[in-house]
Structure 1
Amino acid sequence: MSKVWLITGSSRGLGRAFTEAVLEAGDRVVAGARNPAQLADLEKRFGERVRAVSVDVTSEAQAKDAVEAAIERFGGLDVLVNNAGYGNVAPVEDTTLEEFRAQIETNLFGVIIMTKAVIPYFREREAGHIIQVTSIAGRLGPVGRAPYAAAKFGVEGFSESLSRELGPLGVKVTIVEPGGFRTDFAGSSTELREGRAEYDSTVGATVRFQRSYNGRQPGDPAKAAAALLQLVSMREPPLRLLLGSDCYAAAEKSILSTLEADRRWKDLSVSTDF
Structure 2
Amino acid sequence: MTAITDEDNKTWLITGISSGFGKEMAEQLLAAGKTVIGTVRKPESVRDLREQYPDTLDVQLLDVTDVEAVYRVVDDAFHRHGRIDAIVNNAGYGLFGAAEELTDEQVNQILATDLVGSIQVIRTALPHLRKQGSGIIIQISSYGGQVAYPGNSMYHASKFGIEGFVESVAQEVKPFGIRALIVEPGGARTEFRYGSAHVAKLMPEYDGPTHSFLKMLDPANGLAPGDPAKMAARIIESAGKPDTPLHLVLGSAALENTIHRLEDRLAEYRSETEIAKSTDVDE
* TM-score normalized by the length of structure 1: 0.95
CA distance in structure 1 between the aligned counterparts of 2:19 and 2:271, rounded to whole angstroms: 44
**Equivalent of 2:99, from 92, 100, 123?**
92
Does 203-212 or 74-83 show the bigger shift? 203-212
Contact 1:100 1:147 in 2 (8 A): yes
Please say if 1:147 is aligned against 2:147: no
**SS of structure 2 residue aligned to 1:195:** coil
Check whether the contact 1:86–1:103 (CA below 8 A) recurs between aligned residues: yes
Whether 1:135 and 2:142 are equivalent positions in the alignment is yes
Q: Which residue of 2 aligns with 1:251?
A: 258
Residues 29-77 of structure 1: CA deviation (Å, up to 9, x unaligned):
0010111221111111112010111011122332233224433443321
Corresponding position: 1:18 with 2:25? yes
Match of 2:181 in 1: 174
Deviations 1:185-223 (A, max 9, x none): 112201234722221112222222332577611111111
Residues 239 and 44 of structure 1, relative CA distance in 2, 3 Å threshold: same
Gapped regions of structure 2 (runs ≥ 5): 1-6
After superposition, give the CA deviation of every residue in 1:101-156 in whole Å (9 maximum; x if it has no partner).
Answer: 11011100000110111000001111111001111111022211111110111101
Letter in 2 for 1:268: I
Q: Verify: 1:240 aligned to 2:247, yes or no.
A: yes
Where in structure 2 are the equivalents of 1:181-192 lying within 5 Å?
A: 181-192=188-199
User: Structure 1 residues 214 and 136 mapped into 2: Cα distance closer, same or farther (>3 Å)?
Assistant: farther
Instruction: Tell me the distance in 2 between the aligned counterparts of 1:79 and 1:177.
Output: 17
Structure 1 residue 84, shift from structure 2 partner: 0.3
Q: Does 1:4 align with 2:4?
A: no
1:169-188 deviations in whole A, cap 9, x for unaligned?
Answer: 11111111111010111122
**1:260 maps to which residue?**
267
Counterparts of 1:58 and 1:185 in 2: how far apart (Å)?
18
Cα separation, partners in 2 of 1:62 and 1:239, compared to 1, 3 Å: same
Match for 1:46 among 53, 56, 67? 53
* 1:218 alignment partner in structure 2: 225
Q: 2:90 aligns with which of 61, 83, 90?
A: 83
My pick for the range that moved more, 191-200 or 102-111, is 191-200
Residue 124 of structure 2 aligns with an amino acid whose one-letter code is A
Task: Answer yes or no: is 1:122 the counterpart of 2:129.
Answer: yes
Q: Give me the whole-angstrom Cα distance separating, in 1, the residues matched to 2:115 and 2:128.
A: 21
Q: Do the aligned residues in 1 keep the contact of 2:11 with 2:35 (CA within 8 Å)?
A: yes
For residue 34 of structure 1, what is the aligned residue in structure 2?
41
TM-score (norm 2): 0.92
Distance in 1 between residues matched to 2:168 and 2:30, nearest whole Å: 31
Residue 123 of structure 1 aligns to which amino acid in structure 2? R
Q: Root-mean-square deviation (CA), in Å?
A: 1.6
Contact 1:178–1:244 (Cα < 8 Å) also in 2? yes
Q: Which residue of 2 aligns with 1:203?
A: 210
